[in-house]
Structure formats: structure tokens, C-alpha cells
């Protein structure tokens, strides 16, 4: 140690420890040397030790709550180092005689006990000194690191990148940059990934249209912003677009060599960093709470992108067929699919519901607009938590006029195949389908058409039972699990037709040849089950009135629907397709919840 220099804490501690070691060596002989205890000890505190039944964790040293070791008793008086060689000068340590639990006999710590205690104190002080030294080293390292960081930031402050306005740059979205090789461009986006290296920083930036690899070098990695950069920060970058070198890959095959950049909005690092909030093993309910962050991930983004392209493909396919889009109301005062799944609310003092289906409204505009469709939210107060049920889902419904049941089935098959083809021909959706569902095969035509009664036979012949283990009989509602088993076994789209009247909604047209069954169809797809439900509608006024009666539905609130049968009735039919279920099939998602922007299910309406 230099003269005048203050000893460090560790050095002081080491010194104390070595002095203590010497004094312990002396004291260990105090059998001969120790002074006779002729001082008055009557006022000293007494601590009790029971080596068998006491506790160093919970004991207090009182007779009824003894410690288990003399060392702990000694430590409890918070002794100074000077006391260590004669530990009982300020305290009386009483030990329970080992055979006296019942008799409660205590004796003062013996001379040999004291020797042992002094030895233990020495060990304790040494480990304390070691801990102190380690703490001091940590503190020193931290100070050095902080100082280095402070200097780095000080130097970084002086490095200012200049946004040279005289140099031309084209503001662009990332999707367009592959066409701009050699140009100087300006982009804005979020830092998706970030890999700092000694001489280069590699950023992957996304702007919602695509991703771009950006390379920062030289002064660009020495600024304060470079030191502060975190993933999910928003940034503006200016530089030249270049093709990636041979043998290397980057999104779009190009990269941006940055000459100017800055942070626009800094995302937090440390314990609040984006990466830490959502991980592979994050609990499902936390994931659901953090859906707004999950949506920034690659899989969720891909699903939402295909969702948008899917809706566009359906609109194109409808447009091609001259089917007109309409936008029916969400707030209604009539049910379509039965009362048990209605969400009811107070509408200016009268009961109203969130719509279950826009079908009845679509039917009313057939006479004015001809074939129509809508893409509208439907609501079902489902009391189950299956992987294919939502409380709110996007319902794509169409209604076609002057058709027979076979026309409806052909149209459905046509639409599904057309839309899949559009998506497979689109470079963005086909790439995502390939990534998320590499085994996807477009459905082959014609779809299998299976009568409900044949399905019952199929289930029984293939050992697919009801939930209670019994065989299915005609009239049974085929449960979700059985339906899925059958669909997965057959492993191709099935049009399940002619359901019993009593299982289906009031508006379905009865089969002429078997009036207890209906001209109805469910389209079942592998991995999901029912994706479409449709039917021909009752055209005859009296038959409809009888159907209301059979189902116990008061006809008055439906006057506007009934009127369609009064003023020029026609054969017509339609269907509803669950967009999230269709997507789950197309992209091989485990649950429809992944296919909705902000899914709602029983008990969940957040965020």
C-alpha cells in the first residue's frame, strides 16, 4: 500500500482477520493462560443454547426459545472483533445438558466449549472478510464499468450525424426498396432485430409493409443513439440500397447501407425490454393480455396479413360473380340461431341483442340487389372454451336467389376453391401458407357430399361413439369431437347435407322427399371441422308461420322477414362461413383465437 493511501475495506478486513487468527491461536491455549473470571458477572445477559432442540433460524436465545449453536448466540449480541478472543466476557452462554430435556438443566458453556466457540468465531470472521473483499471487488468493477460507460457516452455526445438535406433521398415504404437498388432512400420503421458487432450493427427494420436489413458502420455506431438502441424502438434511416452479396441472404435480397440515422421513439431496455415480455413459454393468459405486443411477432403478423388477403380474395370472388356487398346492422331485436347464445343489452329501455348472423337481413335485399353478401362480426354467447369457438367472430355470409340446393353446394365448392387459388397465386399469401402450413394441399374437386344419415352410419362403422360411449342414432346432433374425428379420418373437405329439421334453425327448407330433414349443409374441413353452415330457406308463407310456431318463436318481431314470403317469394339459399375457422384450416393454426385480431371468448374481452 502506498504511504498515506487509505486501506480498502477488504484490506482492513483482511488485517482484522489475521490479527484475529493470532489472537485465536493465543486464546486456544487459554486453558492455562485465561484469566480467572473473578469479575462480577451477575448483571450479564444470559443466552440459552439447546444443541438438539434449539434453532438458529427461529430461536431468540430465551430459555423457552434457545439457539442451537453457541456461535449463533454469540453473533446475536453483535460483538465487536475485540471480544472475539474472550467471547463470554459480556454474555453468559447456558447450554442444556444433553440428557436433561425433561429436567430442564442448563450449565454454563465449558472451557472446551469456549475454545471451540473461539475457533468457530475465527472461521466466521474470515468468511465475513472474504465476503467483504468480494463485495468490494464487485463494487470496484462496477465503478470502472460505469466510468467507462460515462466516457463512452461523453465521446458519443460529440459524434453528431448530419442529415445532409442537399443530398437527395427518396422517402419510401420498405416493400418498394427492391426496385430502388443504387438509390439513396429514407425509411422509417421499428427495430425488429438488432445484432451489434464490433465494427457493424445489423438491424432488421420493419414498417408494416416488409422488412429490411440495415447496416450501420463508422460514426453511425458511435452516436448516443447507437448506444441507446433497443429492439422495438422506432428509427429513421437514410442510405443506399444494395443487393446482398452472393451467398448471403436478407429480406427482399437487398440491404440498406446507412449513412444517416436516428432514433424516433426509444423502447425501454433492461427489465422492461420487449424481448423479456413475451417468450416461447409465456403463460397463455399473459399472452392474451399482451396480444397488442404479440401482434408484432412474425407469426401473428403473417396470420393477419393472410386474413386481409383472404377477405380481399373473397370480395374479388364475389365481385366476379356479381354478388353485391351490403352492411347489415350489428344491433338487432330478433334471434337467428336460437336464444341460448344471444348477448342481450338494454337499447333505450328495450331489450336488444348483438347479431348472431346477418342472414335474415341479407334475405330482405334479394328483391332489390339480387345476390348479396356481407362480412360482418357475429356474436355468440358461447358457454364453452373450445379451440374453435369465439364470442365474436367475423362472419362471411352470402344469400343467392333463384337457386336450387345443388346450385348452393356447387357455388360453395366453387368459392372455396377459387379463393384458395387466388391466395396460392398471390406471392405474399402463398409464401406464408408455405411457411406456416408446408403440407397444405388445395382441396380437390368435387367435394365429398355426405348425407347426414350416411354420416351416422359412418360414425358407427368406424367406432366413433358419442361422449357417453354409446352409438349414434339418426336424430343425434353430431358432437364437435366426433365430427372432427370423422373429418380428420376422411381428411378432405366434406359437405355434410340434409340435417334433421329438429336439429337446425327454424328457417330451413324441408326436403321434399323426407320433410323431417332439411336442405342444409355444413362444410367440414380437416383439423377444424365445421367451417360453413348453410341451407335453402323456407319460401312458403304458411310453412314459415308453422316453423315459428314449432320453435316457439313469436312471429310479430319477424314481420319484415316474413314479408319476403308475401311480396314475391322465390327459392333462395345461403350460407355463413367463419373466417377465423377458415384461416385456422388454411394456416394450420391450433385455435381460431390465433386468427382473430383481438379474440373474444368466454370471460375475455381485453385488450
Q: In the complex with ligand 4AD, which residue's Cβ is closer, 380 or 565?
A: 380
Contact (CB, 8 A) for 548 and 558: yes
Phi/psi-derived region of residue 348, left when phi > 0, alpha when psi is between -120 and 50, beta in every other case:
left
CB of 504 to ligand 4AD, least distance (A): 9
Q: In the complex with ligand 4AD, which residue's Cβ is closer, 29 or 543?
A: 543
Cell numbers describing residue 319 = 365481385
DSSP string across 526-589: TTTEEEEEEEEB---HHHHHHHHHHHT--SGGGHHHHHHHHSS---EEEEEEEHHHHHHHHTT-
Q: What angle do CA 200, 204, 210 make, to 5 degrees?
A: 150
Q: In the complex with ligand 4AD, which residue's Cβ is closer, 299 or 341?
A: 341
CB of 259 to ligand 4AD, least distance (A): 51
Would you tell me which residues interact with ligand 4AD (CB under 6 A)? 336-337, 357, 359, 380, 382, 389-390, 393, 395, 397, 530-534, 574-578, 580-581, 592
How many Å apart are CA 92 and CA 109, to the nearest integer? 8
Longest dimension (CA), the chain: 124
Q: In the complex with ligand 4AD, which residue's Cβ is closer, 70 or 533?
A: 533
3-state secondary structure of 46: strand
How many Å apart are CA 121 and CA 119, to the nearest integer? 5
- For 16, 213, 443, 595, the CA distances from 428, given in Å and listed in that order, are 73, 19, 20, 17
CB of 225 to ligand 4AD, least distance (A): 46
How many Å apart are CA 217 and CA 418, to the nearest integer? 49
CB of 589 to ligand 4AD, least distance (A): 13
- For 334, 351, 379, 413, 556, the CA distances from 348, given in Å and listed in that order, are 16, 8, 20, 43, 20
How many Å apart are CA 109 and CA 121, to the nearest integer? 15
Contact (CB, 8 A) for 299 and 436: yes
Nearest partner of 236 among 310, 167, 171, judged by Cα: 171
What are the two backbone dihedrals, phi and then psi, of residue 558, each rounded to the nearest 5 degrees?
-100, 15
How many Å apart are CA 579 and CA 584, to the nearest integer? 9
CB of 380 to ligand 4AD, least distance (A): 4
Q: In the complex with ligand 4AD, which residue's Cβ is closer, 482 or 532?
A: 532
Give the HSE-up count for residue 210: Cα atoms under 13 Å, Cβ half-sphere. 19
> Given the C-alpha cell 433492461, which residue does it identify?
270
CB of 600 to ligand 4AD, least distance (A): 10
Q: Residue 86 carries which DSSP code?
A: S
Q: In the complex with ligand 4AD, which residue's Cβ is closer, 261 or 361?
A: 361
CB of 358 to ligand 4AD, least distance (A): 7
Q: In the complex with ligand 4AD, which residue's Cβ is closer, 87 or 574?
A: 574
Nearest partner of 216 among 266, 259, 252, judged by Cα: 259
How many Å apart are CA 189 and CA 581, to the nearest integer? 32
Q: In the complex with ligand 4AD, which residue's Cβ is closer, 359 or 518?
A: 359
DSSP string across 382-397: -----TT--SEEEEEE
Contact (CB, 8 A) for 12 and 26: no
CB of 189 to ligand 4AD, least distance (A): 34
CB of 416 to ligand 4AD, least distance (A): 12
Q: In the complex with ligand 4AD, which residue's Cβ is closer, 419 or 592?
A: 592
How many Å apart are CA 427 and CA 443, to the nearest integer? 19
Q: In the complex with ligand 4AD, which residue's Cβ is closer, 54 or 493?
A: 493
Contact (CB, 8 A) for 46 and 65: no
How many Å apart are CA 309 and CA 596, to the nearest integer? 14
Q: In the complex with ligand 4AD, which residue's Cβ is closer, 443 or 574?
A: 574
Q: In the complex with ligand 4AD, which residue's Cβ is closer, 13 or 577?
A: 577
Q: In the complex with ligand 4AD, which residue's Cβ is closer, 85 or 335?
A: 335
Q: In the complex with ligand 4AD, which residue's Cβ is closer, 10 or 412?
A: 412
Amino acid at each position: 500500500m502506498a504511504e498515506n493511501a487509505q486501506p480498502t475495506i477488504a484490506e482492513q478486513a483482511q488485517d482484522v482477520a489475521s490479527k484475529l487468527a493470532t489472537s485465536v491461536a493465543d486464546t486456544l491455549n487459554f486453558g492455562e493462560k485465561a484469566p480467572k473470571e473473578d469479575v462480577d458477572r451477575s448483571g450479564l445477559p444470559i443466552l440459552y443454547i439447546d444443541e438438539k432442540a434449539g434453532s438458529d433460524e427461529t430461536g431468540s436465545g430465551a430459555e423457552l426459545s434457545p439457539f442451537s449453536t453457541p456461535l449463533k448466540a454469540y453473533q446475536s449480541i453483535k460483538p465487536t472483533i475485540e471480544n472475539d478472543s474472550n467471547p463470554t466476557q459480556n454474555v453468559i452462554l447456558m447450554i442444556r445438558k444433553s440428557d436433561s430435556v425433561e429436567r430442564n438443566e442448563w450449565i454454563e458453556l465449558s472451557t472446551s466449549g469456549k475454545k471451540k466457540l473461539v475457533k468457530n468465531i475465527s472461521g466466521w470472521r474470515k468468511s465475513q472478510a472474504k465476503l467483504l473483499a468480494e463485495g468490494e471487488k464487485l463494487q470496484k468493477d462496477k465503478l470502472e464499468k460505469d466510468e467507462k460507460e460515462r466516457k463512452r457516452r461523453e465521446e458519443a455526445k460529440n459524434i453528431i450525424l448530419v442529415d445532409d438535406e442537399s443530398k437527395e433521398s427518396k422517402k419510401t415504404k420498405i416493400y418498394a426498396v427492391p426496385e430502388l437498388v443504387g438509390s439513396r432512400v429514407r425509411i422509417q420503421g421499428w427495430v425488429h432485430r438488432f445484432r451489434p458487432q464490433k465494427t457493424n450493427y445489423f438491424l432488421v427494420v420493419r414498417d408494416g409493409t416488409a422488412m429490411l436489413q440495415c447496416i450501420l458502420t463508422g460514426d453511425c455506431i458511435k452516436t448516443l443513439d447507437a448506444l441507446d438502441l433497443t429492439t422495438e424502438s422506432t428509427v429513421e434511416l437514410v442510405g443506399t440500397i444494395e443487393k446482398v452479396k452472393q451467398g448471403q441472404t436478407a429480406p427482399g435480397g437487398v440491404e440498406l447501407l446507412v449513412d444517416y440515422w436516428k432514433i424516433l421513439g426509444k423502447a425501454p431496455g433492461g427489465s422492461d425490454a420487449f424481448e423479456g415480455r413475451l417468450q416461447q413459454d409465456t403463460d397463455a393468459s399473459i399472452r392474451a393480455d399482451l396480444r397488442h405486443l404479440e401482434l408484432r411477432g412474425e407469426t401473428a403478423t403473417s396470420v393477419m396479413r393472410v386474413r386481409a388477403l383472404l377477405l380481399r380474395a373473397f370480395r374479388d370472388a364475389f365481385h366476379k360473380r356479381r354478388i353485391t356487398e351490403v352492411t347489415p346492422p350489428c344491433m338487432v331485436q330478433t334471434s337467428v340461431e336460437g336464444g341460448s347464445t344471444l348477448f342481450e343489452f338494454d337499447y333505450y329501455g328495450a331489450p336488444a341483442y348483438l347479431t348472431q348472423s346477418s342472414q335474415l337481413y341479407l334475405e330482405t335485399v334479394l328483391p332489390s340487389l339480387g345476390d348479396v353478401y356481407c362480412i360482418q362480426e357475429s356474436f355468440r354467447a358461447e358457454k364453452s372454451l373450445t379451440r374453435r369457438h369465439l364470442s365474436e367472430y367475423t362472419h362471411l355470409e352470402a344469400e343467392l336467389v333463384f337457386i336450387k340446393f345443388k346450385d348452393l353446394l356447387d357455388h360453395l365448392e366453387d368459392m372455396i376453391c377459387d379463393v384458395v387459388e387466388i391466395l396460392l397465386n398471390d406471392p405474399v399469401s402463398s409464401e406464408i401458407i408455405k411457411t406456416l402450413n408446408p403440407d397444405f394441399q388445395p382441396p380437390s374437386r368435387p367435394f365429398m357430399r355426405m348425407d347426414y344419415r350416411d354420416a351416422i352410419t359412418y360414425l358407427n362403422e368406424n367406432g366413433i361413439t358419442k361422449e357417453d360411449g354409446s352409438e349414434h342414432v339418426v336424430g343425434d346432433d353430431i358432437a364437435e369431437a366426433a365430427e372432427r374425428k370423422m373429418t380428420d379420418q376422411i381428411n378432405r373437405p366434406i359437405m355434410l347435407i340434409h340435417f334433421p329439421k329438429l336439429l337446425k334453425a327454424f328457417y330451413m327448407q324441408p326436403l321434399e322427399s323426407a320433410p323431417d330433414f332439411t336442405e342444409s349443409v355444413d362444410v367440414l374441413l380437416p383439423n377444424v371441422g365445421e367451417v360453413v353452415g348453410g341451407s335453402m330457406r323456407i319460401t312458403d308463407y304458411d310453412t314459415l308461420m308453422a316453423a315459428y310456431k314449432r320453435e316457439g318463436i313469436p312471429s310479430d318481431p319477424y314481420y319484415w322477414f316474413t314479408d319476403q314470403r308475401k311480396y314475391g317469394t322465390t327459392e333462395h339459399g345461403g350460407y355463413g362461413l367463419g373466417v377465423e375457422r377458415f384461416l385456422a384450416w388454411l394456416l394450420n393454426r391450433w385455435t381460431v383465437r390465433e386468427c382473430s385480431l383481438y379474440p373474444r371468448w368466454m370471460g375475455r374481452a381485453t385488450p
